[in-house]
């Protein structure tokens, strides 16, 4: 398959990547959906959400890539069960939920898939709002990866990495997702629970803050939604 209007989209199962892929679909791109199982605590739920999102996007092809070595490496509360996921708010610096070079590895694999299919666009839902904690969510980093991938692929590949949400706030992402018809009930953000979102981890707090600021009710069920929403809003100021 070699089509000009083909976009390889990294889809975690969260609302950011779901919206980023939806925007590509709206522009007329056929979607090659790529998901990574890397031993994260909510791997089963994220995979379930990825499959639902891929269905919503009518993805042309899907890749579910297993990366078990992240659990072997450890060093992240997302992949190492001996480390606790923080629930006391976002701390300065790189948090313990950072997975070493995760986006770099994801982009490299997705680039290989894009080159196979002759795709000219690779889409990732990174947001600068997260970059103070995660160095691999910064626009400058993604731009550097685009240059490196260009040097390491065929001259005819010319792959552009798109990050349409990079300057958006979580509230803007929520509002735009609703505007674009993203089924937010098919997305998952919680770092530590699969049955009910905990409502207190960093990712739940950011998501709840976004919904609160947008004045919209999150369709996801939270174990501690009300208290978490107040804390999330406070943590963003």
Instruction: State the pLDDT at residue 225.
Output: 62
Q: How far apart are CA 154 and CA 166, in angstroms?
A: 27
- Interhelix angle for 139-151 vs 102-117, to 10°? 40
* Higher-confidence position of 95 and 8: 8
In the block, residue with structure tokens 């690779």: 122
DSSP annotation of 217 reads -
- pLDDT(134) > 80: yes
Express each pLDDT in 167-215 by its tens digit. Answer: 999 999 999 999 999 999 999 999 999 999 999 999 999 999 999 999 9
Average of per-residue pLDDT values in the chain: 92
Structure tokens at 82: 């001996």
Q: What is the C-alpha to C-alpha distance for residues 112 and 94, in angstroms, rounded to an integer? A: 29
Structural contact between residues 88 and 227, judged by C-beta atoms closer than 8 angstroms = no
Calculated CA dihedral for residues 199, 204, 207, 211, nearest 10 degrees: 0
Assess contact for 180 and 27: CB atoms under 8 A: no
28 phi/psi in degrees, rounded to 5? 95, 10
The closest of 40, 42, 36, 105 to 79, measured between CA atoms, is 40
202 near 90, Cβ under 8 Å?
yes
CATH 3.40.50.620 fits 6-169, yes or no: yes
Q: Give the pLDDT band of residue 92 (cuts 50, 70, 90).
A: confident
Q: Could you give the CA distance from residue 46 to residue 50 in angstroms, rounded to a whole number? A: 6
Report the share of the chain in percent with pLDDT over 90. 86
In the chain the first and final C-alpha atoms are separated, in Å, by 47
Does pTM surpass 0.75?
Answer: yes
**What is the layout of strands, in order, in the sheet containing 30-37?**
61-66, 30-37, 6-10, 121-123, 160-162
Task: For residue 83, give Cα distances in angstroms to 8, 65, 79, 102, 196.
Answer: 33, 24, 9, 18, 20
**Domain boundaries, given as residue ranges, for the chain:** 6-169
């Amino acid at each position: 398959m070699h089509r000009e209007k083909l976009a390889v989209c990294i889809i975690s199962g969260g609302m950011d990547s779901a919206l980023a892929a939806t925007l590509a679909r709206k522009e007329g791109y056929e979607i090659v959906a790529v998901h990574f199982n890397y031993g994260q605590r909510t791997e089963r739920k994220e995979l379930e959400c990825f499959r639902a999102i891929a269905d919503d996007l009518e993805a042309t092809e899907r890749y579910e890539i297993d990366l078990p070595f992240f659990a072997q490496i450890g060093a992240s509360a997302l992949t190492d069960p001996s480390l606790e996921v923080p629930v006391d708010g976002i701390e300065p610096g790189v948090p313990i939920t950072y997975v070493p070079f995760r986006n770099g590895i994801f982009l490299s694999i997705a680039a290989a898939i894009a080159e196979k299919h002759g795709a000219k666009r690779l889409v990732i839902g990174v947001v600068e709002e997260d970059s103070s904690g995660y160095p691999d969510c910064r626009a400058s980093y993604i731009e550097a990866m685009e240059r490196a991938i260009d040097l390491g692929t065929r001259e005819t590949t010319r792959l552009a990495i798109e990050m349409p949400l990079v300057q958006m706030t979580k509230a803007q992402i929520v509002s735009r997702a609703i505007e674009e018809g993203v089924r937010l009930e098919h997305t998952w953000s919680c770092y530590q629970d699969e049955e009910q979102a905990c409502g207190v981890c960093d990712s739940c707090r950011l998501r709840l803050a976004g919904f609160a600021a947008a004045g919209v009710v999150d369709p996801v069920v939270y174990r501690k939604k009300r208290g978490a929403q107040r804390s999330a809003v406070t943590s963003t100021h």
